[in-house]
């Protein structure tokens, strides 16, 4: 068994772990759409304008860019300024102008009204995630750290947890695995139901060769998100490196069954071949229609 696992172990230990290029770009946030009104009509109109602008950015980012700039020129309140910059940044991402988008999100975070702390936290987080997309984790680090602190201080534990997850990606990209582990500890404490935090914690523990800890954490990730192919792939990697070849095969095969056309399935097939067992016929030829 060890002869089959040895080359696989070398490859798996070299994996990066949490992907530093992944970062969600949220649309209109709940606390903005459902914001306690001081001027209900005006705020509803602004929320509607942001929703329309963000929708336009998905189909025609050039048009959304123009619309956001015009909106910004006509804006007279901190909230409207932040919203117009929010849409402007999303449109820039659609056009591949990531460095400009990051600066616009930073501007928007600073323009968020005093009673919109959570919105400011999201915008700062978007700036940090854009920096990660640019391959600049050094710039992402302070933005994500600040955003997570703001969300935590405002009492939004799920948002604080997600921002700590994002922070861990920046720390991993900077080679600061121990600090990333601490950020993920904070994420799991803030929101024990965040499956991504458990998955990345398992990945990081595996990278640090803490296999028993990694196994416990990937089991929890599987309980929270059982059909996530990334969870099945990581479970297989951990099992293989722990010397549990049959468990590894079962986990890799489960990825092929759940998401046969995914990137994770491609990786799982390669690992199965290295383990001396090709993918099962049923997984290679999934049913396509009912």
Work out the widest C-alpha separation in the chain, in whole angstroms: 70
Residue 31: pLDDT band by 50, 70, 90 thresholds?
very low
**pLDDT of res. 114:** 87
Within 10 Å of residue 238's Cβ, how many Cβ atoms?
26
Q: Which residue has the tokens 């005006």?
A: 42
Report the mean per-residue pLDDT for the chain.
Answer: 84
Q: What is the pLDDT of residue 45?
A: 60
N- to C-terminal Cα separation, the chain:
40
| 56 three-state secondary structure | helix
pLDDT mean over 224-247: 96
What percent of the chain lies above the pLDDT cut of 70? Answer: 79
Helix axes 78-94, 117-133, angle to 10 degrees: 20
Query: What residues have CB less than 8 Å from 241, skipping those under 6 apart?
Result: 5, 9, 12, 13, 206, 209, 211
Residue 226 scores a pLDDT above 90: yes
The rounded distance, in Å, linking the Cα atoms of 2 and 240 is 10
Percent helix / strand / coil, the chain, rounded to 5: 75, 0, 25
Which pLDDT belongs to residue 76?
77
- For residue 34, pLDDT over 70 is answered with no
Q: In which band, very low, low, confident or very high, does the pLDDT at 274 lie, cut at 50, 70 and 90?
A: very high
Reading the block at residue 156, the tokens are 């939004």
Assigned CATH for 195-278: 1.25.40.10
How far is it, in rounded angstroms, from Cα 72 to Cα 56? Answer: 16
Q: What is the pLDDT of residues 103-140, one digit of tens each?
A: 999 999 999 998 899 999 999 999 999 999 999 999 99
Q: Which H/E stretch holds residue 83?
A: helix 78-94
> pLDDT band at residue 46, thresholds of 50, 70 and 90?
low
Give the pair of three-digit tokens for residue 250. Answer: 């079962």
* pLDDT of 212 above 80: yes
Provide the residue ranges of all domains of the chain, joining segments of one domain with +. 195-278
pLDDT band at 233 (very low <50, low <70, confident <90, very high): very high
How confident is the model over 52-59, as a mean pLDDT? 93
Task: Return phi, psi of residue 132, to 5°.
Answer: -65, -40
């Amino acid at each position: 068994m060890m002869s089959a696992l040895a080359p696989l172990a070398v490859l798996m230990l070299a994996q990066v772990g949490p992907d530093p290029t992944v970062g969600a770009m949220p649309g209109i946030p709940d606390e903005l759409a459902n914001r306690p009104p001081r001027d209900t009509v005006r705020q509803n109109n602004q929320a509607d304008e942001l929703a329309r602008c963000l929708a336009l950015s998905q189909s025609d980012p050039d048009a959304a860019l123009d619309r956001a700039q015009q909106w910004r020129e006509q804006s007279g309140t901190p909230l409207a300024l932040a919203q117009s910059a929010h849409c402007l940044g999303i449109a820039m991402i659609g056009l591949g102008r990531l460095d400009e988008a990051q600066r616009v999100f930073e501007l928007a975070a600073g323009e968020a009204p005093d009673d919109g702390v959570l919105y400011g936290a999201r915008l700062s987080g978007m700036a940090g995630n854009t920096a990660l997309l640019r391959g600049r984790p050094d710039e992402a680090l302070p933005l994500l750290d600040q955003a997570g602190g703001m969300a935590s201080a405002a009492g939004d534990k799920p948002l604080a947890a997600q921002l700590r997850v994002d922070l861990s990606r920046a720390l991993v990209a900077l080679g600061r695995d121990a600090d990333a582990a601490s950020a993920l500890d904070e994420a799991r404490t803030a929101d024990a139901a965040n499956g991504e935090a458990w998955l990345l914690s398992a990945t990081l523990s595996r990278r640090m060769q803490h296999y028993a800890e990694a196994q416990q954490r990937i089991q929890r990730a599987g309980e929270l998100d059982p059909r996530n192919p990334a969870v099945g792939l990581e479970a297989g990697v951990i099992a293989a490196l722990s010397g549990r070849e049959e468990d590894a095969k079962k986990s890799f095969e489960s990825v092929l069954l759940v998401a046969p056309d995914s990137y994770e399935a491609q990786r799982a097939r390669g690992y199965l071949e290295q383990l001396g067992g090709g993918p099962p016929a049923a997984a290679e030829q999934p049913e396509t229609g009912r």
